[in-house]
């Protein structure tokens, strides 16, 4: 059986043109997906059932037992953390928010360690953006800044930019220029028309210089800015101003380097300035296939995209205080529910030391680095493979993932709903 137009649950591109060949309830071939997507569809070794750590051994337990364990753990915690959410569907994220509200917990998602700074910048200056198809059909200039799509979002170039056919471009490959700005010559830089190599930590200065040039203050620019020559800066600024439609896509090379959210703020203000001359947009290269979805869900339910603390009863938001890394590093948190993410592979050592000391339940289809830190792991269906659900593409377009296999695994939503139902049975003040 071939499932057409399946949706890839790997990265923020959320490609929805995948063909998956299934034989005997097993994926045997995948067409159109990139290597990352294909590996995900082909599957990895999965846990057969929930497991409980007893001393240093894993013991098989039932779903009912695992769910009860998690509910009790969260109910008895004083400062529970519900973290992750970018690797699951929106319906599950909604249950997560209700749960956090009920137990006065903190709910945070992986954007607090990736595009959190982008969100902080947007909250200061806004966001001139668009859907990916607008870029595909119109853009004659695309800038990748601190992002390397060939490695991280392999089909971004073929579906939306460099190699994509566009309605308003006669010959898209020839008529569209690509600029790459990075600290090192990446694979993506190799296929760019212009490569701007910045000294590490120099993004803010380069953005400021470009803004000044666009504002007509070219005289103020020194001979080089963070390793970039004045000539190149002027050339890039002119390319931007003379583009009919320009698009900037930035990654963690801009959000997580020196300057952090101020870099993004500067980049957005550069784009706002360019809009006085031509049409320009800017967007974040979101990593996980539904990390943007968890920002969306959190926002319509609580008002804030990440790092939401319900300990006061109301939704309270103060990134740097109410975000997962900070709560763990301060050793505040006394129980953690991890859903669809792998903090052990990404968080600072100090956080992990604390994670190892508190009860942790993980919902994930696969064992990962966090498994080593958890007391119970509950295997679940993989959204987009054996469960359906909503995911938001990096540009905010929601797509319903398809189910290509049938399994007995419960979905994240089912597990969390059962957990929430148990928690609601407890009398609350």
Q: Say how many residues make up the chain.
A: 429
> Does 240 contact another protein by CB under 8 A?
no
H or E element in which residue 173 lies: helix 172-175
Binding characters for another protein, 101-120, by CB under 8 A (x = yes): xx----------------x-
Residues 239 and 141: beta-carbon distance below 8 Å: yes
CA distance 42 to 296: 29
Applying CB under 8 A, which part among 45-53, 202-210, 271-279, 372-380 lies near another protein? 271-279
Specify the stretch interacting with another protein by CB under 8 A; choose among 79-87, 172-180, 306-314, 358-366: 306-314
Q: Specify whether the CB–CB gap between 19 and 31 falls below 8 A.
A: yes
Q: Which stretch of DSSP H or E encloses residue 246?
A: strand 245-250
Among 105, 129, 367, 379, which residue sits at the site for another protein (rule: CB under 8 A)?
129
250 sits near another protein (criterion: CB under 8 A) = no
Is-contact 122 128, C-beta < 8 A?
no
- Give the CA distances from residue 315 to residues 64, 100, 170, 291, 336, in Å, rounded to whole numbers and listed in that order: 30, 10, 50, 20, 19
Give the Cα separation of 218 and 79 in Å (integer): 53
Minimum CB distance to another protein smaller for 79 or for 354 = 79
- Give the C-alpha separation, 335 to 34, whole Å: 37
For another protein, the closer CB: 220 or 275: 275
User: CB of 25: closest distance to another protein in angstroms?
Assistant: 22
Q: What DSSP string describes 408-428?
A: SPPPHHHHHHHHHHHHHHS--
For residue 280, count other CB atoms closer than 10 A to its CB.
25
Binding status of residue 396 toward another protein by CB under 8 A: yes
Instruction: State yes or no: residue 304 binds another protein (CB under 8 A).
Output: yes
Binding mask 22-61 for another protein (x = CB under 8 A): ----------------------------------------
Candidate list 70, 92, 99, 132; residue touching another protein; CB under 8 A: 132
Residues found near another protein in the complex (CB under 8 A): 4-5, 7, 16-17, 90, 94, 98, 101-102, 119, 122-134, 136-138, 159-160, 165, 167-168, 244-245, 272, 275-276, 278-279, 281, 295-296, 299-305, 310, 312-315, 317, 388, 390, 392, 396-400
């Amino acid at each position: 059986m071939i499932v057409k137009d399946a949706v890839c649950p790997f990265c923020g591109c959320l490609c929805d043109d995948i063909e998956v060949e299934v034989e005997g309830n097993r994926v045997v071939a995948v067409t159109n997906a990139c290597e990352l997507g294909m590996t995900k569809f082909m599957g990895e070794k999965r846990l057969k059932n929930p497991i409980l750590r007893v001393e240093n051994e894993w013991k098989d337990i039932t779903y009912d037992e695992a769910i009860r364990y998690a509910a009790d753990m969260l109910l008895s915690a004083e400062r529970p953390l519900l973290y992750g959410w970018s690797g699951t569907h929106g319906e599950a994220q909604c249950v997560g928010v209700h749960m956090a509200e009920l137990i006065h917990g903190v709910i945070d998602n992986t954007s607090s360690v990736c595009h959190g700074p982008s969100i902080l910048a947007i909250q200061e200056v806004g966001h001139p953006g668009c859907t990916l198809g607008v870029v595909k059909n119109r853009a004659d200039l695309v800038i990748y800044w601190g992002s390397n799509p060939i490695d991280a979002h392999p089909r971004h170039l073929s579906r939306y930019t460099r190699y994509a056919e566009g309605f308003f471009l006669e010959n898209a490959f020839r008529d569209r220029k690509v600029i790459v700005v990075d600290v090192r010559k990446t694979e993506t830089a190799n296929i760019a028309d212009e490569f701007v190599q910045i000294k590490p930590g120099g993004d803010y200065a380069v953005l400021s210089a470009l803004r000044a040039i666009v504002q007509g203050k070219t005289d103020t620019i020194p001979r080089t800015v963070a390793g970039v020559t004045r000539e190149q800066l002027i050339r890039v600024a002119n390319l931007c101003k003379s583009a009919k439609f320009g698009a900037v896509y930035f990654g963690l090379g801009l959000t997580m380097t020196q300057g952090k959210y101020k870099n993004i703020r500067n980049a957005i203000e550069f784009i706002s300035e360019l809009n006085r001359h031509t049409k320009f947009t800017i967007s974040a290269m979101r990593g996980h296939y539904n990390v943007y979805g968890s920002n969306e869900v959190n926002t319509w339910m609580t008002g804030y995209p990440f790092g939401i603390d319900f300990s006061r009863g109301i939704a309270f938001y103060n990134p740097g205080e109410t975000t997962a890394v900070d709560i763990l590093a301060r050793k505040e948190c006394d129980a953690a529910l991890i859903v669809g993410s792998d903090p052990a592979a990404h968080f600072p050592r100090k956080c992990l030391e604390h994670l190892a000391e508190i009860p942790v339940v993980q919902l994930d289809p696969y064992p990962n680095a966090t498994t080593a830190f958890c007391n119970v792991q509950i295997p679940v269906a993989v959204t987009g493979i054996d469960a359906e659900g909503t995911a938001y593409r990096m540009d905010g377009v929601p797509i319903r993932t398809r189910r290509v296999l049938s399994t007995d695994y419960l979905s994240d939503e089912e597990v969390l709903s059962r957990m929430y139902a148990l928690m609601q049975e407890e009398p609350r003040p």
